[in-house]
A = this chain, B = another copy of it.
Amino acid sequence: MNPLRISELAKKGGVGVETVRFYQRKGLLDAPQGSATAGRHYGADDVRRLRYIRKAQTAGFTLSEIAELIDLDRADDRPRARDMARARIAALDEKIAELTEARAALAKLAKDCAKGGAGPCPILAAFD
């Protein structure tokens, strides 16, 4: 397949060139293959990898967890991958519960404030 320039790879991944380079520095993407500069050093693997990173990120994995997942992928270590997924799901559940609670509290405050009785605004007073 026709090799890509870094700017083309970035575009296909929906990120900026600097972000691609940042991922390379983090070891998430391979460094340019051709020895020299200004060439077309990237292929379909790199595009796939970049998209993998972005999708894993939306699942809430941090970049260093993603680095681990990539290693797991190489080693085909399914039990460890399941562990990570379970841990991530638990963290997600916790975060969701936390945000849901905050949302409910805030919604109640906003409603009370809108009702507009006298006295201080409940939103402002609530945190007192």
Contact = CB atoms under 8 A, between A and B. Distances in A.
Interface residues of A, number: 45
Contact of A59 (B53, B105, B113): B105
B60 A99 contact: yes
Given A76-B121, A105-B59, A120-B76, A89 B69 contact: no
A101 to B, nearest CB: 8
Interface stretch (A5-13, A15-23, A33-41, A79-87): A79-87
Question: How many monomers of this protein are in the complex?
Answer: 2
Interface string A53-91: 101101110000000010011001010011011101100
Nearest to A56: B127
A52 B127 contact: yes
